[in-house]
Structure 1
Amino acid sequence: MNITQFPKKKNHIPQCFIINAQGKTLGRLATVASKLLLGKETSFFSSGVDQGNFLIIYNASGVMVTGKKEKKKLYYRNSQRPGSLKIETFSELKERIPARIIENAIWGMLPKGILGRQYFRRLYVYSGQDLAQKKKYGSIKADLVGPLAFTSIDL
């Protein structure tokens, strides 16, 4: 008789992955990042149990898009007050806050419930190369990440 093992959160030790976004295409980077945040690379993935990982992305200012999206891709934000709709192109937002471009792309690929918000809190995006986490891993709780669990990924 076979017994199906259902994964439990207490049995999962999250890993931390580090990705360099320099020269990477935005959509391809976001799909890899969302799969890592969800924990889909494990063999015992279950969508109802939080088995995600931590993810650090640096050099967000070096991310690129293909075709004419540099000028034609638009980002909207609105505070729900009359006349407050702001529209920016990809290049304008990349100048101002490059990390937000990657955050928006990854947020669009995560579930929109409580688990999705928990996954998104484990994402750290930096526009440059100097980061606090890479030197010290200060923001990530050390008791949640197993020893020697930091893995650098090259796409």
Structure 2
Amino acid sequence: MFKTFVPKQVEPKWVLVDAEGQTVGRLATQIARILRGKHKPNWTPNMATGDFVVVINASKARFTGGKPQTKIYTRYTGYQGGLKEIPAGEMLAKHPERVIEHAVKGMLPKGPLGYKIFSRLKVYAGPTHPHQAQNPEKLEVK
């Protein structure tokens, strides 16, 4: 008979990711993997065993091909005729944090566990961040 292994309270680490020159989708997959904890040997699908991720230089991430012109981000204000559309290139210029957050959020599970995991993501447009005290380890993303 097999016994199910359930990890005890897991202490999350802090990871620093530099988005400069990285493709948005490929970067988001690596970030989602770290947030879920799939890189750890004690990964469990129903627990938040992942780490905190701090992303810097989000404004220097890039899209490939014609995505800056053809990819459209939509949101709805709640009013009639309130569907707002913005191309990916313009969104990356105005709100680079939202581009990374949107890409990662789509790769996480939906529901309470996904919301908890997503809250561990911190994205900043520039090279500075207020999480120096956590002493994040730098991750080289390929």
After TM superposition, the score normalised by the length of structure 1 is: 0.86
In the TM superposition, residue 74 of structure 1 has moved relative to its aligned partner by 0.5
Query: Match for residue 72 of structure 2?
Result: 74
Q: Which of residues 105, 114, 117 is equivalent to 1:116?
A: 114
Runs of 4+ in structure 1 off by over 3 angstroms are 1-4
Query: Match for residue 85 of structure 2?
Result: 87
Query: Match for residue 52 of structure 1?
Result: 50
Structure 2 counterpart SS, 1:66? coil
1:101 aligns with 2:99: yes
- Looking at structure 1, the residues matched to 47 and 20 of structure 2 have their Cα atoms a distance apart, in angstroms, of 32
- Looking at structure 2, the residues matched to 49 and 63 of structure 1 have their Cα atoms a distance apart, in angstroms, of 30
Paired residue total: 141
Structure 1 counterpart SS, 2:50? coil
- Looking at structure 2, the residues matched to 106 and 120 of structure 1 have their Cα atoms a distance apart, in angstroms, of 8
Q: Cα distance 1:87–1:2, how it changes in 2: closer, same or farther (>3 A)? A: closer
- Looking at structure 1, the residues matched to 19 and 76 of structure 2 have their Cα atoms a distance apart, in angstroms, of 28
Alignment RMSD: 1.4
In the TM superposition, residue 4 of structure 1 has moved relative to its aligned partner by 3.9
- Looking at structure 1, the residues matched to 103 and 30 of structure 2 have their Cα atoms a distance apart, in angstroms, of 11
In the TM superposition, residue 2 of structure 1 has moved relative to its aligned partner by 6.0
Deviation by residue 1:60-107 (Cα, 9 ceiling, x = unmatched): 001111100011110001022101111000111112111100000000
Indicate the percent of aligned positions where both proteins have the same amino acid.
35
- Looking at structure 1, the residues matched to 5 and 110 of structure 2 have their Cα atoms a distance apart, in angstroms, of 27
After TM superposition, the score normalised by the length of structure 2 is: 0.93
- Looking at structure 2, the residues matched to 109 and 120 of structure 1 have their Cα atoms a distance apart, in angstroms, of 10
Query: Match for residue 18 of structure 1?
Result: 16
Task: Give the AA of the match of 1:124.
Answer: K
Structure 2 counterpart SS, 1:14? coil
Structure 1 counterpart SS, 2:73? strand
- Looking at structure 1, the residues matched to 114 and 4 of structure 2 have their Cα atoms a distance apart, in angstroms, of 26
Query: Match for residue 61 of structure 1?
Result: 59
Query: Match for residue 7 of structure 1?
Result: 7
1:153 aligns with 2:118: no
Question: 5+ residue gaps in structure 2?
Answer: none
- Looking at structure 2, the residues matched to 17 and 98 of structure 1 have their Cα atoms a distance apart, in angstroms, of 19
Task: Give the AA of the match of 1:6.
Answer: V
